[in-house]
Structure 1
Amino acid sequence: MSSDRIRRFLAGQLPPTPFLVVDTDVVTERVREFAVELPHSLLFYAVKANPEPAVLGAVLAAGGGFDVASPAEITACLAEGAKPEQLSYGNPIKKPGDIAFAFDRGVRSFTTDTGADLEQLARHAPGAAVTVRMVVDAPASATPFGRKFGAEPADAVRLLRRAAELGLEPAGVGFHVGSQQPDPAAWDAGIAAAAKVFAEVPFRRLNIGGGFGITYRAPVPSLATYATAVRDALDAHFPAGAPELALEPGRAIVGRAGLIRSEVVLVAQRGGHRWVYLDIGRYNGLAETENEAIPYRLEAGDGERGPVVIAGPTCDGDDVLYQHTSYELPLALKAGDTVDILDAGAYTASYSSVSFNGIEPLRTYCLG
């Protein structure tokens, strides 16, 4: 359920729908929970999940740093008072000008996974610390990365050695098991691969990425369970002691902190199915419903319920949220009624389009 503070907000005078409301106290609690479960690790919050200034401020106040992927994210974090050393430029895909921008503002930690990017780092961020991202075969996640990022372990060894030749610091290796990863054992393969690289080229930092799941409609393991699996894998593959641990959670920090309130625009019968159209869809906040990957929990009043197809408001045929995933909403639901979308703090407002169909980006209100 959403926080009491969000409930009090929803009981007052409300802005027009749709909107996202975020309780930054939940963000603070989650950062501190990671510190308890994985002590002595470096937490770099994935800014892309939700870049609201109040969210960034809450992460910073709780002792976290930031995984940034662009000059704009760097600027946003520094504006909230972050120090450059609290930023890790985690995107392996970056223009030379972006590297120079980051370096000029004091960022000294970068991720890479190709020789071409490494050469650009040596040219525009001389002496910087680099982490080589590896590709791993992890169990299926809700939104896997596929082969877009990551070097094979043998190539990671080569890149670390080349980094040293170029005057960069070969700081470590990293990997990501995919967003909303439900299997705590998923990190074992990446940690095992990292240990093999370590045997060839010792390094000081191991970045295990994000991917820690949160509960939507189906339960996922607790953070304590994920952390136990990570610690067990580190003990198994680094028996003499593991390198410094870095994390890049995004969804796990801010997902549970947010709620979207939407309004029913239309209810219609089509082809023997009841269709419910909301004023929010894939283009103004619910991009993660593509392929019905993220099944959000919905609240929509009381009364007898029946099956529905749920769609967004635009004139795009792809703007259908749930057609194959089973959802039931009140039979009495009508235009003007509200539907609350729970655990929606991550990858909603940050994914919404600028003005598709003339719809403005999802408005966000932070409580803190």
Structure 2
Amino acid sequence: MNATIADFSASFPVASSRIEGFIAAHSFDRPTLVLDIERVEAQYHGLNAGLGNATIHYAVKANPADAIIDRLVDLGSHFDAASRGEIELCLSHGAHPQAISFGNTVKRPSDIAFAHRAGITMFAADAAEEIAKIAEHAPGAEVYIRLLVEASGADWPLTRKFGTTRDTALALMAQARDLGLRPAGLSFHVGSQTRDPAMWGDTLDQVAAVWQAAVEAGFDLDLLNIGGGFPAFYGEAIPHPTVYAARVMEQVNARFPEGIRIMAEPGRGLVAEAGMIAAEVLLVSKKSEDDLHRWVYLDIGKFSGLAETMDEAIRYQFVTPHDGEATGPCILAGPSCDSADVLYEKRPVALPVSLKSGDKVMIRNCGAYTSSYSSVGFNGFPPLDVVVI
């Protein structure tokens, strides 16, 4: 990042946050994610207060910035790692091995062995072959079985690719026990950006039924991983993180035994609102004189950090120098020579009519799943830069 103090703030409304103030006071030679580490800490405390007896395992994939991992280690957070690289990252910042779970259900055998040697004791699985790999390369480890659950109403459902059915889950527990592993419990994911805690109810009913069946089959379960789903603000109202987490835990505690270990894996809900992206308008055009929509091309797109605009599931909020002026519908697109690099078309974005090439824009609440999604250099564009304040 090459940021310099500039007479830039005059073109924006009064900054509503430390991040907006920082971006408004600097210029950037490429799209840049600005993170406020104090906001990460505030979100952690807010979620932790509501989660009560549940332990936070931060989903590292949401944003692996060194400053975030370092601060969360200091706060006593645990971590959900999806790869050897994420395990090594957490360990390098002082995380205790037993505070890290290997939560990806698809793992390379050598990575399982690495994790086991490093002291990781907790692994996820949802298939017989995965159980066999863990038994061979992490003998004696704890495993939790990820369940396939029906969609909850989340903005980004996470069904089909991960998880298994009730009967298969019981069979996997038996296999794990026979191979010398400890089948400790169950995990699930209610779906990313589950805005209303009431949406958890049906999913928790499904998981509780499998838990009861496992107990009746003789398995001594004591671990429930409730996954992520904790939301961030993208324009639609959501509860305060403490209130949200407390309402989720009320439902969990009503369905599961007292005294069990409960893991929660917030990613988006912990870091999304701690980041904003500084970007620039490259072109505003119409395909024809009678076109109802303008096309607005930014210097950032799907391949350089905004992958979550896929299917228009996540609706980012934009700040421009012309806010307060007349607006009109825009199709928003990225800079690459790829026709898939269109951000919002099904539901156009209302942006000021006076918006033009060279205007600086801010994209709010981009702290999660942006820098970690950014390509190394598709079309020669550099990866998303990151600055921490």
* TM-score, normalization by structure 1: 0.95
Tell me the matched-pair count: 366
Identity of aligned residues (%): 43
1:167-202 deviation per Cα after TM superposition (whole angstroms, max 9, x unaligned): 111111110011111232333334333333243323
The DSSP-based 3-state class of the residue aligned with 2:149 is coil
- 1:139–1:183: 8 Å Cα contact kept in structure 2? no
How much does 1:2 deviate?
7.7
User: Which residue does the alignment assign to 2:314?
Assistant: 294
Amino acid at match of 2:308: E
1:282-321 deviation per Cα after TM superposition (whole angstroms, max 9, x unaligned): 1101001111111100001232222211111011111111
The DSSP-based 3-state class of the residue aligned with 1:210 is coil
What does residue range 202-213 of structure 1 map to in structure 2 within 5 Å?
202-213=220-231
- 2:274–2:367: 8 Å Cα contact kept in structure 1? yes
Verify: 1:218 aligned to 2:218, yes or no: no
Amino acid at match of 1:38: L
Verify: 1:281 aligned to 2:301, yes or no: yes
Distance in 2 (CA, whole Å) between partners of 1:188 and 1:265 is 45
User: Which residue does the alignment assign to 1:181?
Assistant: 194
Distance in 1 (CA, whole Å) between partners of 2:313 and 2:118 is 37
Distance in 1 (CA, whole Å) between partners of 2:41 and 2:368 is 15
User: Which residue does the alignment assign to 2:276?
Assistant: 259
Distance in 2 (CA, whole Å) between partners of 1:23 and 1:51 is 14
Find the partner of 1:151 among 135, 159, 164.
Answer: 164
Distance in 2 (CA, whole Å) between partners of 1:235 and 1:70 is 31
**Mean Cα displacement is larger for which, 253-262 or 101-110?**
101-110
User: Which residue does the alignment assign to 1:88?
Assistant: 101
1:250-296 deviation per Cα after TM superposition (whole angstroms, max 9, x unaligned): 00000000000100101111241211110000110100111111110
Amino acid at match of 2:231: G
User: Which residue does the alignment assign to 1:312?
Assistant: 334
- 1:235–1:242: 8 Å Cα contact kept in structure 2? no
User: Which residue does the alignment assign to 2:4?
Assistant: none
User: Which residue does the alignment assign to 2:370?
Assistant: 348
Distance in 1 (CA, whole Å) between partners of 2:47 and 2:92 is 24
1:30-53 deviation per Cα after TM superposition (whole angstroms, max 9, x unaligned): 111121101121111011110010
Amino acid at match of 1:130: V
Distance in 1 (CA, whole Å) between partners of 2:253 and 2:193 is 24
Verify: 1:109 aligned to 2:104, yes or no: no
How much does 1:61 deviate?
1.7
Distance in 2 (CA, whole Å) between partners of 1:2 and 1:336 is 20
Amino acid at match of 1:179: S
Q: Is there any run of 5+ residues in structure 2 with no aligned partner, and where?
A: 1-13
How much does 1:101 deviate?
1.4
Distance in 1 (CA, whole Å) between partners of 2:251 and 2:384 is 40
User: Which residue does the alignment assign to 1:134?
Assistant: 147
How much does 1:9 deviate?
2.0
How much does 1:223 deviate?
2.7
How much does 1:90 deviate?
0.3
User: Which residue does the alignment assign to 1:227?
Assistant: 245
1:310-368 deviation per Cα after TM superposition (whole angstroms, max 9, x unaligned): 1110111111111121312122211111111000000011001111101111000111x
Distance in 2 (CA, whole Å) between partners of 1:349 and 1:286 is 9
Classify 1:2/1:230 alpha carbon distance in 2 versus 1 (closer, same or farther; 3 Å).
farther
